[in-house]
C-alpha cells in the first residue's frame, strides 16, 4: 500500500512539472500590445528641426512609469501590454534642459492599438541660462565654434530655369562646452561667399546677422546665372579678445542652366528598325540636354519632337540626368525620299528646345525604316565547281529597297549532296556571316553585300560529277527569305 501511494505522488509531481514548463513559454499575443510613438521638434528660422535627447515620460494608474529619450530624428517610442478589453488613461510629459516645459497631456488607449502622436513643438526658455559660462553670468560661455546646422545637401538651380534658386543655411554659435550661446552672449555673425557662380551674380542675404536666443543665425544663398560650386563661411570676431571664430566651409552646388546647342544630343535605340512594311512598331529616341557648363539642365525641361516618317511622341521632359526618351511609331507617312540623297526608307527625327535668350536648340538624326528581306545571287544560281577547285558567288541580302536588314538578322548557308556509297566525296560552302547583323544604317560590304564560296572538299578532288544544292536562309524581325543554288562538284 505504501509503495502504491508513493507512485501516485511521483506521477502527480511529474504532471505538475510538465504543466508548469509549458505554461512558462506562452507567447505574448500581439492583440494585447499598445504602441505609442511620435516626434519632438522646434521651429528655427522658418525651419522645422528635430530635437534630440528630449525626455518623454509616460505614466498611468497601475502602469510602471516609462521613460524614453528622442533620437537624432526627434523620435520616441513606447510599447506595453494590457489585459483584453481594458482601457487606460495615460499621461505624457515632455521636457529638456534649456527648453520650456510643456504641459502634460492625457489620452485614452486600449489594447491592440497604435497611437501615432502628432509632432510636439517645444521652444527655448530664454529666461534660464544654458551651459557652463566660465564664470561669466548670466547665460552661456563666450563663442568658441560655429556649427553648420543644415540642410545637409544644398543643390540650387541657375537663375531663370524655373528651379529652386535659393536655399536657407542655418548655423549655431556654441561655447567651449558645446552649448549654444545665450542671449546675453549674442554676437554678430558675417557670411562670406566665394566660387565661380559669384561672377554670375550669386550672393548671400543677409550678409550679417545677430544670433538669436538659441545662438542661431541664418542666411539665404541665391544662385545667379553661372553653374559651379559656392563656398560659404560664417564667422564672428569676439569682442573680449579679438579672436575670429569661423565655421567650416559650406559647399553649395549651383547647376542646371538653360539648354545649350553644344550639349544637345539625339540618338535612337536602333538606327535601323524593321518598320517600312508594318504599322505600330516602336523605336526609342533618346535626347540628352546639357547647359553651357556641361551639366544636365533643370529636371522637367521640355523637348519637342517631330519626324518625316511615321509618328513620334510630341513632347517629353528631361529627368535629373538631363535625358528624355520619345517613342517613334512606324506607319504613314512612309519615308520615301524624305532624306535628300537617299532612297526610300530613310527618315529624319527632329528634337528641339529653348535655350538662353529664347534661342532654339535643336538636333536631328537619320533613321532607316527597313522592309522585307530579299536574296540575290550573281553571276548566276548555277554551281559548277571543277575537280579540286572552288566557285565564288556575290550575294546581296537586303530589304526591297536594297537597304540593310535590322540588327539581329541571322544569315546561314548549307550544302546538300549524296556521294556514292563507299566513297569519301564531299563539298563545302562558306563565306556568309556566322554572327547576327549589327545595327547598320547604310548598305555596303559586310552589311548588304557578301561573298559565298562552294569548294570541292574531296581529297585529290571529286573524280566524277556529284550534284549539290546550296540553301541560303535569312531570318529576323524583317521576316524570312530563302534562295537555292543548284549544280555539281567534280568532273
Q: What is the pLDDT of residues 345-364, one digit of tens each?
A: 999 999 999 998 899 999 99
pTM above 0.75, yes or no: no
Average pLDDT, integer, range 296-307? 94
The reply to whether 261-370 shares the fold of 30-121 is yes
pLDDT of residue 243: 94
Residue % of the chain over a pLDDT of 70: 90
Domain topology for 373-489: Immunoglobulin-like (2.60.40)
Q: Which CATH class is domain 30-121?
A: mainly beta
pLDDT at 128 over 60: no
The confidence band for 132, taking pLDDT boundaries of 50, 70 and 90, is very low
384-411 b/e (C-beta count within 10 Å ≥ 16 → b): ebeebebbebebebbbebbbbbbbebeb
CA of 420: how far to CAs of 77, 276, 428, in Å?
A: 91, 48, 17
pLDDT digits (tens, 9 = 90+) for 70-125: 998 899 999 988 888 778 899 999 998 778 888 898 999 888 888 899 999 998 77
Hey, which of 2-11, 38-47, 290-299 has the most confident mean pLDDT? 290-299
Pairing of strands 481-489, 449-456: unpaired
User: Can you give 45-111 as a three-state secondary structure string?
Assistant: CCEEEECCCCEEEEEECCEEEEEEECCCCCEEEEEEECCCCCEEEEEEEEECCCECCCCCEEEEEEC
Nearest to 365 by CA among 294, 449, 310, 306: 306
Domain topology for 261-370: Immunoglobulin-like (2.60.40)
By the 8 A CB rule, do 302 and 326 touch?
A: no
Domain 145-255 indexed as CATH 2.60.40.10: yes
Q: What DSSP string runs through 24-35? A: HTPPPPGGGEEE
pLDDT of residue 256: 83
pLDDT of residue 394: 98
pLDDT of residue 29: 56
119-138 b/e (C-beta count within 10 Å ≥ 16 → b): ebebebebeebbbebeeeee
pLDDT at 129 over 80: no
pLDDT at 454 over 80: yes
pLDDT of residue 84: 80
More confident residue, 292 or 453: 453
Domains in the chain: boundaries:
30-121, 145-255, 261-370, 373-489
pLDDT of residue 44: 63
pLDDT at 405 over 50: yes
Average pLDDT, integer, range 8-12? 42
The confidence band for 22, taking pLDDT boundaries of 50, 70 and 90, is very low
**Average pLDDT across the chain, whole number:** 89
By the 8 A CB rule, do 360 and 315 touch?
A: no
More confident residue, 131 or 244: 244
Amino acid at each position: 500500500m505504501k509503495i502504491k501511494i508513493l507512485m501516485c505522488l511521483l506521477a502527480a509531481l511529474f504532471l505538475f512539472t510538465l504543466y508548469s514548463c509549458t505554461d512558462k513559454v506562452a507567447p505574448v499575443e500581439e492583440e494585447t500590445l499598445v504602441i505609442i510613438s511620435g516626434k519632438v521638434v522646434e521651429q528655427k528660422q522658418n525651419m522645422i528641426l528635430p530635437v534630440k535627447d528630449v525626455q518623454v515620460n509616460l505614466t498611468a494608474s497601475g502602469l510602471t512609469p516609462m521613460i524614453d529619450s528622442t533620437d537624432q530624428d526627434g523620435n520616441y517610442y513606447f510599447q506595453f501590454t494590457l489585459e483584453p478589453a481594458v482601457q487606460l488613461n495615460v499621461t505624457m510629459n515632455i521636457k529638456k534642459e534649456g527648453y520650456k516645459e510643456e504641459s502634460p497631456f492625457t489620452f485614452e488607449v486600449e489594447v491592440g492599438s497604435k497611437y501615432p502622436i502628432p509632432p510636439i513643438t517645444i521652444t527655448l526658455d530664454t529666461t534660464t541660462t544654458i551651459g557652463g559660462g566660465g564664470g561669466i553670468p548670466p547665460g552661456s560661455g563666450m563663442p568658441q565654434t560655429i556649427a553648420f546646422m543644415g540642410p545637409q545637401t544644398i543643390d540650387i538651380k541657375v537663375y531663370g530655369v524655373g528651379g529652386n534658386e535659393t536655399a536657407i543655411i542655418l548655423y549655431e554659435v556654441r561655447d567651449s562646452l558645446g552649448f549654444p550661446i545665450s542671449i546675453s552672449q549674442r554676437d554678430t555673425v558675417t557670411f562670406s561667399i566665394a566660387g565661380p557662380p559669384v561672377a554670375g551674380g550669386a550672393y548671400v542675404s543677409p550678409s550679417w546677422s545677430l544670433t538669436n536666443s538659441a545662438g542661431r543665425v541664418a542666411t539665404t544663398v541665391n544662385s545667379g546665372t553661372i553653374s559651379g560650386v559656392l563656398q560659404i563661411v560664417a564667422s564672428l570676431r569676439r569682442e573680449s579678445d579679438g579672436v575670429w571664430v569661423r565655421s567650416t566651409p559650406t559647399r553649395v552646388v549651383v547647376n542646371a542652366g538653360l539648354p545649350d546647342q553644344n550639349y544637345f544630343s539625339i540618338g535612337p535605340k536602333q538606327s535601323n528598325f524593321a518598320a517600312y512594311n508594318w504599322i505600330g512598331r516602336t523605336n526609342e529616341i533618346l535626347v540628352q540636354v546639357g547647359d553651357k557648363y556641361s551639366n544636365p539642365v533643370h529636371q522637367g525641361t521640355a523637348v519637342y519632337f517631330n519626324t518625316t516618317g511615321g509618328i513620334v511622341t510630341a513632347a517629353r521632359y528631361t529627368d535629373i540626368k538631363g535625358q528624355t526618351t520619345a517613342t517613334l511609331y512606324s506607319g504613314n507617312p512612309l519615308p520615301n525620299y524624305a532624306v535628300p540623297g537617299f532612297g526610300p526608307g530613310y527618315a529624319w527625327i527632329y528634337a528641339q528646345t529653348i535655350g538662353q535668350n529664347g534661342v532654339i536648340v535643336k538636333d536631328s538624326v537619320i533613321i532607316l525604316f527597313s522592309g522585307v528581306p530579299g536574296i540575290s545571287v550573281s553571276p548566276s544560281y548555277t554551281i559548277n565547281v571543277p575537280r579540286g577547285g572552288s566557285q565564288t558567288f556575290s550575294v546581296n541580302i537586303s530589304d526591297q529597297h536594297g537597304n540593310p536588314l535590322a540588327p539581329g538578322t541571322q544569315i546561314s548557308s548549307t550544302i546538300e549532296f549524296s556521294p556514292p556509297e563507299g566513297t569519301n566525296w564531299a563539298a563545302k560552302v562558306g563565306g556568309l556571316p556566322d554572327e547576327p547583323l549589327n545595327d547598320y544604317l547604310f548598305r555596303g560590304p559586310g552589311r548588304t553585300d557578301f561573298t559565298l564560296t562552294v569548294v570541292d572538299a574531296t581529297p585529290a578532288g571529286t573524280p566524277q560529277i556529284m550534284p549539290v544544292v546550296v540553301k541560303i536562309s535569312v531570318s529576323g524581325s524583317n521576316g524570312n527569305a530563302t534562295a537555292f543554288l543548284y549544280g555539281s562538284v567534280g568532273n
